[in-house]
Structure 1
Amino acid sequence: VRPTSNGGRPLSGFSRPGTGSRPGTGLSVEQAMAAGRAGTAMSRPVTTSGRFVRLGTASLTSEPGGPFINLDKVNFSKYVQHPPMAKALCDYILYVEHKPKKAVELCAAATTQAGFKDWWWKARLGKAYYQLGLFRDAERQFLSAIKEQSMAVTHLELGKIYLRLDQPNKAVETYDKAAALYPTEVSLLLASGRVKDMMRDSDAAAELYKQVLFLEGTNVEAIASLAALQFYSDQPEIALRYYRRLLQMGIQNAELWNNLGLCCFYAGQYDMCLTCFERALQVATDDSIADIWYNVSHLAIGIGDLGLAYQALKVAVAADGTHAEAYNNLAVLELKKGNLEASRSGFNQSMSLSTHAFEPRFNSALLSFKLGDAQESYDLVQRSLGLYPEHAESLDLLQQLRAKFA
């Protein structure tokens, strides 16, 4: 079973840094409309040329300890008279200062100045609305921008709007229409593949990723996503070929070595998997080390070394106290040792940390059944089947419970 995120979405084969934690995109309307933050470490220090201030640009000079540009003093109506400077200022506001409210003011003034005919300003206005959480307003701006001038990047932004509105089919339709206009634009195919992957349509996603590789043979996201699809389709040997290709391309990170180790393990190449996990641990960061130790525990269980598995899981939960899968497996090992209370506590901890994992609920239901608590077991197995209706062991346990109640 392919693992899922806390939101219930299947995990993708490629991590896109910043997509879930970009400043601004996750803000509420109230937060986004609030006063902007002061200068950050991204503020550029004053250079020697900064001493020579021309009239009309004094508002762009930085102050010691302040922001690079004091946006509160900028007269937007003056800057929209010079479109190149206004466009650079707009991107600075959106992508550096992350002040969409100010960007809306600038874009509105520039759109009016351009006679409502410039697609670029409409697209940036839609981006500002998106960061403010005003998705319907953003949709109207992007559609208007596409009507003025069809651009692939605008279709991509429009698709993101539909995803935030929980309309993945509409997003795929948008990407497909754009792909018909721009058949060689791999970003559109990748975006559509991500959504198909998210909707658990693995076959369609795989076809799209293959199209991407036909157009761009070194696309890292397509290779990694195909490798993940092959791995979870019980074809670790084929996944191993994809991951080795990434290694040949010069990519060296903990996630890649971890995946290589898993593929080697499930493909029966036990001599290589330990080496891969060692390399993964050498280059691991705090964010990934818990997952690596969790996978090492699977390797240890596979070779029958339960002591190593227990220690690896202990390290995993010490590195990440919110690792639900590690708590679940640790509870299973505690149960094997006869520590019933520790096992029950581990299952409860795993259930509280992961609302979309059926394993701890089934394991806890089975433990309650063996301890004679049929009612609690029935409640837990119902919750397990609510998350994974086709789970054979849960269905069998439910049948036994119904026979017991009859």
Structure 2
Amino acid sequence: MSDGGTGAGSNDDKVVNSNDTDIPVRQVERRMIRTSKAPEIPPFESRNWLIHSHYMSKDFDTCRSLIVQQLAETQGMCEYAQYVQGMVLRQEGRIQESLDSLQVASRLNPQNPENLKQIARSLFLMGKHKTAIEVYSSALELIQNRNPENKDWEILHNQGICYARLGDSSAAKNHLKKAIEIGQQHSSYMQLGRVHLEEGNIEQAIAVYKEALAISAEDTELMTTLGLLYLRNNKHQEAFEYLGNSLAYSPTEHKAILAVGSVMQKHQDHDVAISKYRVATLSTPESPQLWNNIGMCFFDKKKYVIAVSCLKRSWYLAPFEWRIAYNLGLIHLTIRQYASAVHFLRAAIGTNPRLGASYLLLGIALTHLNEQSQAKQAFEHSLTLMPDDISLLLNYSIFLIKNADSKSALYFITKFESLITSVSLKTLDPELVKMSGQLSSILHSGLPDQQEVAT
């Protein structure tokens, strides 16, 4: 008689299904193993990880090759390949083609806000700021449709920049403040400060940067920016405090060195300024502003050859910077290389036609080249830009005397004398005062030949 199933085929090794059919446990296990196999990745997504890997490592050639294969196999229907293709094209500066690829990716998956964010970025780079704002708003709407509590600081930040470019400072500040409330990102603070500066509100910009510095206490860019703003407000103690802190954290911070060096240069401490600038050249040897300042230090030390060399290096690095061309014109005028002076001064005028001092120096240089009619035009144009400049009035009076126009010269020298009576003699160049006395005697005695003097 059976004992109720104590052998190898007992109930311990069997299960009962819904139809009361005995199935061995091992067969169930094998069936479970077969059914729990990981799902296969669809072919059109199979290379996504590899595309992503090469894109993140900036191996754009391999990335582009993989994208071409992926899009060929899927007839262009792979969202991620289209997205990365758009990003690579933008890195290469092909903004319109980038926009086209990103728009295809968005059509393939209209619910992905990341596609819209990158479309808006490409529109921003194309200068279509109003359209970019609208696309950013659509991306934010998608994000909040999934979860109303979700907020994207990056979208608000970028919308703030777009509004700033459109000149709507109120909307720009509103969006940037919202971005700061969410993310407290360095870039949002910096951009909000710039908006305040564009409005001419330096104090409010300082307050914003101080708030940012309270969060990022070792941010040398913020320290340097605050130092520069305090310099603009003539608060030198606070300026040097922030600039000094910046240099303490980063001794080669070239903006801070430029600021400190320029103050020393202004106070005629040229050797110390040059030593500071020398440190900055170690980290930023290709800074045109740095070489411009070094050149002007040597100019003040009357070392004209090395000054010209430094300034020409600066001009090579920034050929459209009017200040460098102006300084080269000034130095060549000082060393009596008048043709070169005219060349550089005309270059300065070409990039900044509203600077009256350039026309003044040009007039002096042209006078020495016996181009009297052109010199007169330069002086007169300078008068329209700075009619009460005492150096201009004096130089133009001398020019008129040399060209036998004593009546006009008397008018301008009289205007010159009336202006200097309201100016402290301590702030005047002694040479200008001396020349004004000589002019009075010239106008009465008829002596013709005097040298021009320029500030």
Q: Is TM-score (shorter-chain normalized) higher than 0.5?
A: yes
Contact 1:316 1:326 in 2 (8 A): no
Contact 2:103 2:115 in 1 (8 A): no
1:108 corresponds to? 137
5+ residue gaps, structure 1, are: 1-44, 401-406
Contact 1:334 1:340 in 2 (8 A): yes
1:123 corresponds to? 157
1:315 corresponds to? 343
1:347 corresponds to? 379
Q: Quick one: distance in 1 between partners of 2:420 and 2:371?
A: 23
1:97 corresponds to? 126
Q: Are 2:363 and 1:328 aligned?
A: no
Contact 1:358 1:384 in 2 (8 A): no
Give 3-state SS (helix, strand or coil) of 1:133's partner.
coil
Where do 1:174-213 residues align within 5 Å?
174-213=208-247
Amino acid at match of 1:102: T
Q: Quick one: distance in 2 between partners of 1:234 and 1:278?
A: 23
Contact 1:230 1:239 in 2 (8 A): yes
- In structure 2, relative to structure 1, the CA distance for the partners of 1:391 and 1:74 (3 Å cut) is farther
- In structure 2, relative to structure 1, the CA distance for the partners of 1:319 and 1:120 (3 Å cut) is closer
2:23 corresponds to? none
Percent identical residues? 16
How far does residue 333 in structure 1 lie from its aligned partner after superposition? 5.0
How far does residue 228 in structure 1 lie from its aligned partner after superposition? 2.1
Q: Quick one: distance in 2 between partners of 1:388 and 1:97?
A: 53
- In structure 2, relative to structure 1, the CA distance for the partners of 1:277 and 1:390 (3 Å cut) is same
Amino acid at match of 2:341: L
- In structure 2, relative to structure 1, the CA distance for the partners of 1:339 and 1:65 (3 Å cut) is closer
Q: Quick one: distance in 2 between partners of 1:65 and 1:119?
A: 24
- In structure 2, relative to structure 1, the CA distance for the partners of 1:382 and 1:251 (3 Å cut) is farther
How far does residue 299 in structure 1 lie from its aligned partner after superposition? 6.3
Amino acid at match of 1:232: K
1:70 corresponds to? 100
- In structure 2, relative to structure 1, the CA distance for the partners of 1:125 and 1:202 (3 Å cut) is same
- In structure 2, relative to structure 1, the CA distance for the partners of 1:98 and 1:263 (3 Å cut) is same
- In structure 2, relative to structure 1, the CA distance for the partners of 1:296 and 1:380 (3 Å cut) is closer
- In structure 2, relative to structure 1, the CA distance for the partners of 1:159 and 1:344 (3 Å cut) is same
Alignment deviations for residues 136-183 of structure 1 (CA, whole Å, 9 cap, x no partner): 111111222222332222111111221222212111111112212221
Contact 2:99 2:122 in 1 (8 A): no
Q: Quick one: distance in 2 between partners of 1:296 and 1:375?
A: 29
Query: Quick one: which of 102, 112, 137 aligns to 1:82?
Result: 112
How far does residue 48 in structure 1 lie from its aligned partner after superposition? 2.2
Contact 2:179 2:188 in 1 (8 A): yes
- Count of equivalent residues: 348
- In structure 2, relative to structure 1, the CA distance for the partners of 1:67 and 1:372 (3 Å cut) is same
How far does residue 383 in structure 1 lie from its aligned partner after superposition? 8.8
Contact 2:342 2:365 in 1 (8 A): no
2:77 corresponds to? 54
Q: Quick one: distance in 1 between partners of 2:101 and 2:418?
A: 56
How far does residue 73 in structure 1 lie from its aligned partner after superposition? 5.7
How far does residue 111 in structure 1 lie from its aligned partner after superposition? 2.9
Amino acid at match of 1:147: E
How far does residue 385 in structure 1 lie from its aligned partner after superposition? 10
1:21 corresponds to? none
Contact 1:265 1:299 in 2 (8 A): no
Q: Quick one: distance in 2 between partners of 1:387 and 1:48?
A: 73
How far does residue 131 in structure 1 lie from its aligned partner after superposition? 2.1
Deviates more, 1:246-255 or 1:217-226: 246-255
Query: Quick one: which of 137, 149, 152 aligns to 2:183?
Result: 149
- In structure 2, relative to structure 1, the CA distance for the partners of 1:387 and 1:160 (3 Å cut) is farther
Q: Quick one: distance in 2 between partners of 1:388 and 1:121?
A: 55
Amino acid at match of 1:182: S
Alignment deviations for residues 164-207 of structure 1 (CA, whole Å, 9 cap, x no partner): 22212111111112212221122322332343344454554343
Larger-Rg structure: 2
Q: Quick one: distance in 2 between partners of 1:386 and 1:126?
A: 47
Q: Quick one: distance in 2 between partners of 1:119 and 1:80?
A: 21
Deviates more, 1:49-58 or 1:187-196: 49-58
Contact 2:329 2:345 in 1 (8 A): no
How far does residue 377 in structure 1 lie from its aligned partner after superposition? 5.5
Query: Quick one: which of 233, 236, 246 aligns to 2:280?
Result: 246
CA RMSD of aligned residues (A): 4.7
Contact 1:119 1:148 in 2 (8 A): yes
Query: Quick one: which of 142, 156, 174 aligns to 1:140?
Result: 174
- In structure 2, relative to structure 1, the CA distance for the partners of 1:129 and 1:265 (3 Å cut) is closer
5+ residue gaps, structure 2, are: 1-63, 438-455
Q: Quick one: distance in 2 between partners of 1:241 and 1:167?
A: 34
Where do 1:297-312 residues align within 5 Å?
297-298=330-331, 301=334, 305-306=335-336, 308=337, 310-312=338-340
2:202 corresponds to? 168
Q: Quick one: distance in 1 between partners of 2:308 and 2:111?
A: 63
Contact 2:180 2:188 in 1 (8 A): yes
TM score, norm. by length of structure 1: 0.67
- In structure 2, relative to structure 1, the CA distance for the partners of 1:234 and 1:172 (3 Å cut) is same
